[in-house]
Chains A and B, each alone.
Chain A
Amino acid sequence: EDKVVQSPLSLVVHEGDTVTLNCSYEVTNFRSLLWYKQEKKAPTFLFMLTSSGIEKKSGRLSSILDKKELFSILNITATQTGDSAVYLCAVLYSNYQLIWGAGTKLIIKP
């Protein structure tokens, strides 16, 4: 059965810390992996990763995919309270369908 597993389920750090969120997957017909941030209600898109080993970066956030070991990580450096959110990982396996992980709840303490 296809699955996407995120770890840890929750994480509490202090402002300024660096965090690494993990997403492992076992999905037939893998096409790409996507990261989203869900602060209150609407998830917002962060990254889409298709090729192994190529880091995608946006400000303090970066992500990389390892298609051999079947995982991705999302790094956030110099965390701020505004980074507090649930981070969702999803794997695209058809043109219109994703398998989603349960998310990592990140809390940044001032």
Chain B
Amino acid sequence: DGGITQSPKYLFRKEGQNVTLSCEQNLNHDAMYWYRQDPGQGLRLIYYSQIVNDFQKGDIAEGYSVSREKKESFPLTVTSAQKNPTAFYLCASSIYRIGELFFGEGSRLTVL
């Protein structure tokens, strides 16, 4: 079945450590996105990628980094520079431009 796989589902880290969240899709979609979801707030865009080897900052890119070396993969690194990294992270993809977004199951990061 086609879809988006995020891992790990739950992650605990100490302050000051970088962590990488994985996102893999087998939908053959060109565009991929990373969102952050916090209680009581709308989803906020961290980074997006329109095509392999290209990505753009979203609204809250500070303290995060991404790469897009393969069409299927769009990993997100939460660096120690991110002031408040504890959150629920959602990866999504779309065929080309946004018409319908397909989401992964999310990764919940807790920084202790």
Contacts and interface: CB of A to CB of B under 8 A. Distances in A.
Interface of A: 4, 34, 36, 41-45, 48, 88, 90, 92, 95-103
Interface residues of B, number: 26
Contacts of B2: none
A contacts with B: majority SS:
strand
A100 B106 contact: no
Given A41-B105, A41-B106, A43-B90, A95 B42 contact: no
B98 A98 contact: yes
Contacts of B27: none
Contact of B42 (A45, A48, A103): A103
Given A43-B90, A48-B100, 14 more contacts: A34-B100, A41-B88, A41-B90, A42-B4, A42-B103, A43-B103, A45-B100, A48-B99, A96-B50, A96-B94, A96-B97, A97-B45, A97-B58, A103-B42
A6 B75 CA distance: 31
Nearest to A100: B42
